Structure 1
Amino acid sequence: MTERISQTQAIIIAAVIIVAGVGGVFLFTSMTAPPGPEPIKIGFISGLSPPGAYGAAANIKDGAELAIKHINEDGGLLGRPVTLVVGDSSGQVEKGIAAANRLITEDNVVAIVGMLHSSVVLSVQDICEEYEIPLLPSGAGNVMITQKNMSYTFRAHITDLDRADSWLNFSKYMGWEKLAIIAEDTDWGVGGIEWVENQQSDVYPGCTIESWVVSRESPDYYTELLEIKDWGPDVVLEIASQLFFYQITKNAYEVDLSTQVPLLAAAPEMPQQGAWEAVGEAGVGILETESYHPNMELTEQGERAQDGWYIEYGHGPEYFGLNGYSDVMCVAQAIEIAGSADSVQIANALRGNPLERWGSTITFEDTPGPYHQQASPPVLICQFTEFEQALEDTTIIFPESKATGDYTPPGDL
């Protein structure tokens, strides 16, 4: 027997068919929607694991990632999102070369930032030159990096030459005539000694310098530090990175050297996370080479970075991290100036145009010599006078024009 479908049932069935059809069209459309714009990729390489200076490298990475976040919050670049592609060199040349080749040939990055080991930079910059990729090393100070006058290397970090002049001028200012240098057996340590010796006759001819180069493989440095103590210096300059700085600092305290003679750290070591836990009371009295102090006047970019650090990381920034932030921001500004994410056009825009950074507006000038496409920040000497003291509470000792207090000798701490 055939059943008749009522008019009401027919309307219901038709409605179900229509809804199903619309849903299918919606599902098909959603599944076949065109993808969003391809992200612009910026490469990052640094010594994020031992024997690299992993604390400083992590700070640079924090800065670079914060800059990427801020750029994307502002709508990205050229209507495209921006991503950071990370490589770890462990502070070793071979790993740095491998990371650079991968970032350039596989990940198609438009620029590379982040490096702080000069030996790695000196090799990777040849690769960047070959592939025409801008390289902005965030914490590598070897003068040869810019002295090579390469077209695709841009640096806004203090050089070994800047530091050497500052150390000698500071010693002269303090009246210290005997300068002992203990340095790790790397391009950073040995190169630092060479630049101090090269600059001595021009900057402080009355100073006597003795140097000790130590192996990073050594379990301790008691022998060398006792020799330094017997020599009777007025100040001891430590040119060593992270783990080796920690070891030298602790050993100097244990042999009663730093309780009598000031130690001058060649780089911002004490603001690194874990530094106080590593050196303990041996860190009290340390003099340190800095280019950033929380009481400095910052640019609008620097203030945003500083605020962002507290929001994202729960504490203030330090120098290396700010450099990582501003290196990414320099690439971003160049992309906007060029109106293109092409690496050659980015390099052309980096060169000769005013670029805002955390502390000032700089220009990478195409001039021959050690300051080719180099913009050096100021060099400060600060002193940590209390256990677990934060950088913002340290005293700026030098230069005199920026001093916030006087030097405190070890015996008065």
Structure 2
Amino acid sequence: MKNSLLPLRFLHPAVKVSRRRYTAASSGALGKLNVPTDYSASSYLAHTSSQTYNLHTDLPTHIRSSKTKRTNYFTAVNDALRTILTTDDKSLIFGEDVSFGGVFRCTSNLTDSFGGSRIFNTPLSEQGIIGFAIGLSTSGYTALPEIQFADYLFPAFDQLHNEASKMRYRSGGAENFNAGRMVVRMPTGAVGHGALYHSQSPEGFFLGMQGITVIIPRSPVQAKGLLIAAARGADPVVIMEPKILYRAAVEEVPLEEYELPIGKAEVLQAGTDVTLVTYGTMVYVAEAAARAAKERFGVSVEVIDLRTVRPWDKETITKSVNKTGRCVVVHEASRTGGMGESIAGEVQERCFLRLEAPVTRVTGWDTHMPLAFEEFMVPDVVRVLDGIKRTVKY
């Protein structure tokens, strides 16, 4: 294949094609902000047992004396699935390659423990996988399908939107005829080299899908508790797991089973000047940007992790914005049709008289995910810090 960069190198030997991970805006003094995330130093991850219970304040009281284990994200998901399979003998896991552990190993060793009748592979048909899951869930089973990548979900949207989301409504609330025992898991988001079909963030497509709950956990503790809660809940749930966190995010996770509240946002850091709303991988970018805002400008940022992006927690966001008077929304999905639009509209209706500035959105760009420039698509610390600065100076 012809390399379009070769003529440039030949004519200008001094020009080097950079392998920078971050945007050109990161040059100069602010460039020092855009360094790879050190998850081992993040204050939003619990690195000791005591931090687990201090940070994750909505962990149930009865497990607060439980022992913890250092666990990465995908292992926490695996532990949650094992708990569900152990406590619910009508739960089934199925999808592409799940009996072998899946692409990201989230279902590793489950077939050995529970057998091929409860963890099994399917044909490469996302529409078929979700259709089968809906049928199982309406027949009294707990269906736990895995979509190999969130990018592959689109063929199944008809099943989710026209069947699963409407099942309870059209049945008149029948207790058994609904898709409430269905939890669809999938890896999502940018990973650095996924490009068009392995790095999309499609959560915005669910915003108008009534009857479906969408969760994006930020950490191992959150992933385990929210997955168990979803499997025991009354509504069909889509859980999007940021794939870049599967091995990068590690924390002390309680060994006992537990549930975390669905539909409730979490204030990770209290602040007085700006509310920063985000979720998933961007939580850690927000952490660095909030720290930089405090150190460089003296700005106090309140950081909120939505956790559940549909329906999202309007009360927690409203309370925070009424206090700070400013709001910045950060997500890696495209600007148009993303969570930022929904949040900005709601905040400006609910908090108009308290707002000191328009709601600012720092998001992915409105274009396809490129292979060579994937890192340029995703908001980085400099872009988020600039959004905070513009909002404060408005």
TM exceeds 0.5?
no
TM-score by length of structure 1 reads 0.33
TM-score by length of structure 2 reads 0.34
Q: Which has the larger radius of gyration?
A: 1
